[in-house]
Amino acid sequence: MLANKKILICVTGGIAVYKAVALVSKLSQAGADVKVVMTKSAMEFVTPLTFQAMSRNDVYFDTFDEKDSRVIAHIDLADWADLVIVAPATANVIGKVANGISDDMVTTVLLATTAEVWFAPAMNVNMYEKRSVIRNIDTLAKDGYRFIEPSEGFLACGYVGKGRLEEPEKIVKLVQENFVPKNLPLTGKKVVITAGPTRERIDPVRYVSNFSSGKMGYAMAEAATKLGAKTILVSGPVSLNPPSGVQVIHVESAAEMFEAVSRNYDDAEIVIKAAAVADYRPAEIHPQKIKKSDSDSVINLERTTDILKTLGERKQQQILVGFAAETENVIENGMGKLERKNLDFIIINDVTDPDGGFGNDTNVVTLLSKNGTNKLYPAMPKNDLATLLLEAIIEEVKVGNSHDR
Ligand code: PMT
């Protein structure tokens, strides 16, 4: 969820610095690009090397140590960040920032940044309740800074009270919530997309499959996520990197794809089947590699489950979208699949078109709906096409609203 998000952690001096290490680690694991700036006091507790290892980035602590002569480090870091978190935030740094003081790397970055800044205070309970500290926090809150309140409990100084740095897991959750796109057409909606081929095993080294690269399905998954969806991508074997923010379930065979899609079907809002699922599989999987002989060989095939047709039979609230890969009578055949499989939409591609189909970066398709709308999309990159198709589907479902599912 935090892929491509740039988060700057400003670490100031308190025993809770050890929790900032966990915070940096968890943010990095969640996909964020994390950089760390430390005060001299923070370095009394944990060395910069620890943060460097956790963030896989340089750690900054000296305003006059310019690691890259082409930029001014504190301005560069201030401009780089999407979000700045001061954790742990001491009474000292809160007081300095509230009064516009910048006399070290942390406070110069905080003064220079235009990104949102959060403070996660950690200190002794009596310090936290001191009028001057409360005044400084109020000043910063009025200036638009956000505070992650410390929790209550046993403090390192021996007191019990409010002053513990909030748990790293909780801070990561707040960061994730902060970056969830709001008010997009698919915000909060679960969209299940299948992509790629399936492989049906013959023996331990051979299989039946097709030429699907997964590009169309992955493009649909990326587009759905950008429109706010919680996207589950059920992917056959492909060599593509999953789009960021998408939950990927890797499968091999049609049977595994059926199981994964069924598991995610009941609460799905939209299901899009871009995968090229094998219609047949070897009737028998040989446990050992089949030995070659001088004579010809025959492999008996049996039908796989038609996943989309089964989903159509079980359809409740879901908007069901199929793809049709056709080589002749393209529209008629596609329309037949729309009806037979009880779909809301079908995206028909003529897979003999040199600008579309299997493996290409572009596609040419016709979108048909059960309400009779029919739109041809000329050759264009699969990513652009995916966004247009999803927008058209969302628009028709919202406007038409006559999808008696
Ligand atoms: O992956 P790319 O290289 O980018 O190529 C994209 C694509 C050509 C694979 C894609 O655009 C596409 O057309 N996908 C559907 C391929 C296909 O299997 O079409 P079909 O006409 O055979 O099947 C119709 C629909 O039924 C499809 O949505 C398919 O996922 C589904 N089906 C088919 C068989 C089966 N056993 N279960 C299914 O769910």
pLDDT digits (tens, 9 = 90+) for 156-197: 888 888 899 999 999 999 999 898 777 899 988 999 999 999
> How many other CB atoms are found less than 10 A from the CB of residue 352?
12
Q: Which of 212, 262, 364 to mutate to test the pocket of ligand 1 (most atoms within 8 A of CB)?
A: 212
Contacts of 250 (CB under 8 A, 6+ apart): 235, 237
Tell me what the mean pLDDT of segment 200-222 comes to.
98
Give the residue numbers marked as catalytic: 157
Tell me what the mean pLDDT of segment 265-281 comes to.
98
Q: Is 216 in the pocket of ligand 1 (CB under 6 A)?
A: yes
C-alpha pair distances (Å), 131 with each of 123, 138, 164, 206, 373: 14, 10, 19, 74, 67
Q: What is the atom index within ligand 1 of the atom nearest the CA of 238?
A: 1
Of 3.40.50.300, 3.40.50.1950, 3.40.309.10, 3.40.50.12780, which CATH number belongs to 6-178? 3.40.50.1950
Give the angle subtended at the CA of 261 by the CAs of 256 and 264, to the nearest 5°. 130
* Three-class secondary structure of residue 280 per DSSP: strand
Which CATH topology does 190-282+300-404 take? Rossmann fold (3.40.50)
For helices 17-29 and 168-179, angle between their N-to-C axes, nearest 10 degrees: 40
Identical fold for domains 6-178 and 190-282+300-404, yes or no, is: yes
The ranges assigned to domains in the chain are: 6-178, 190-282+300-404
Q: What is the atom index within ligand 1 of the atom nearest the CA of 307?
A: 39
Contacts of 83 (CB under 8 A, 6+ apart): 5, 6, 7, 8, 115, 116, 118, 175, 178
Ligand 1 center to 353 CA (angstroms): 16
Q: Are 103 and 35 in contact (CB under 8 A)?
A: no
For the whole prediction, is pTM greater than 0.85? Answer: no
Q: Which of 9-23, 76-90, 213-227, 240-254 has the lowest mean pLDDT?
A: 240-254
Q: Which of 277, 347, 351, 353 to mutate to test the pocket of ligand 1 (most atoms within 8 A of CB)?
A: 277
C-alpha pair distances (Å), 232 with each of 12, 258, 268: 40, 14, 9
* Angstrom distance (rounded) from CA 78 to CA 70: 15
Q: Which amino acid is at 48?
A: P
Q: Whose CA is nearest to atom 36 of ligand 1?
A: 306
